[in-house]
Amino acid sequence: MAKCGVCHRGCDLAEGQMGLCMARKCENGVVLAANYGAITSIALDPIEKKPLNLFYPGSKIISVGSYGCNLRCPFCQNHEISYGFSFDSAGSGGIDLDNSFFGGTRDQFPECRFLDPKDLAELAVEYVHGGNIGVAFTYNEPLVGYEYVVDAAKEVHRRGLKTVLVSNGCVSQKVCEKVTEHIDAMNIDLKGFTDEYYEKTLGGSRQMVMDFITTAAKTSHMEVTTLIVPGYNDTEDEMKRISSWIAGLNEGNGAKTIALHISRYFPRFKMTDISATNVDTIYKLADVARENLAHVFVGNC
């Protein structure tokens, strides 16, 4: 048996067993990232799609995802990869990357292609002429395989390019500290401001996410996203508390100015009984947030 300390779940894993994230596995008594280098998704995206609006606006970034996630959001938009699957990490490839690259189809999913950190960094360099500024780790939850994020980010930095992380932020401070020094900019979800929503609906820890944002914002460019789900986190009072807490970080801990993205939910995956968030609600909540924050953006409207 071995214990994983990456996130709030603290999985105790028997030999050969996968954690709930379906990305980490006990091998020879050690918990490691079984998804290391296994790339399920790759694209050259506008930086605003991460979303990052205040970090090299107008640029593009090679964005990669693997598989696995430690949360269980019922409305997950990427459930095909975030809920994980068994994968031979030797990575025979299989997927024709040209078929999924730069907006192509993904009908061969869920096969993966193995890209070691140096190969990924070299790929990023190849696309600099097309406006690429570096590599973003995104799509699934990158930090359930944080070892790859760290190794690849080092290679990207060695080549003078930028690194971006898009994450749910629900990992231990130990992992946060290991990763943060290698990441230039982040977009972290703060999905709501009640423990009940985090614990009962998402299977996460609000406090762990808040601690992550607090620590990471001291050294990385930080933007935060809140997805507004009707009936769960769509009150003006909750938005006041979210924006007030972020404003406190802006003032209190030396963080650079933090932007908030307020995003519209659409029915997906297991949550199909709740209609998409009303656009007027999003604009109203953005106005509420602007009472506390200088940079508020709306998404999916």
Does 42 sit near ligand SF4 (CB under 6 A)? Answer: no
Q: How many CB atoms lie within 10 A of CB 25?
A: 22
- Angle ∠(10,179,56) on CA atoms, nearest 5: 135
Q: Which stretch binds ligand SF4 (CB under 6 A): 4-12, 97-105, 228-236, 274-282?
A: 4-12
4 near ligand SF4, judged by CB under 6 A: yes
Place of tokens 């970080």: 249
* Binding residue for ligand SF4, selected from 2, 19, 206, 223, defined by CB under 6 A: 19
Burial class (CB in 10 A: 0-12, 13-18, 19+), 32: middle
User: Between β-strands 12-13 and 24-27, what pairing exists: parallel, antiparallel or unpaired?
Assistant: unpaired
Which residue's Cβ has the minimum distance to ligand SF4?
19
User: Which part of the chain contacts ligand SF4 (CB under 6 A), choosing from 8-16, 88-96, 98-106, 269-277?
Assistant: 8-16
Residues in Cβ contact with 216 at an 8 Å cutoff, skipping those fewer than 6 apart? 169, 176, 180, 183, 186, 188, 222
For position 10 contacting ligand SF4 by CB under 6 A, the verdict is: yes
- Regarding 7 and contact with ligand SF4 (CB under 6 A), the answer is yes
Please report how close the Cβ of residue 231 comes to ligand SF4 at its closest, in angstroms: 27
Q: Are 153 and 163 in contact (CB under 8 A)?
A: yes
Least distance between ligand SF4 and beta carbon 228 (Å): 26
Q: Does 261 bind ligand SF4 (CB under 6 A)?
A: no
Site residues for ligand SF4 per CB under 6 A: 4, 6-7, 9-11, 19-21, 24, 70, 144
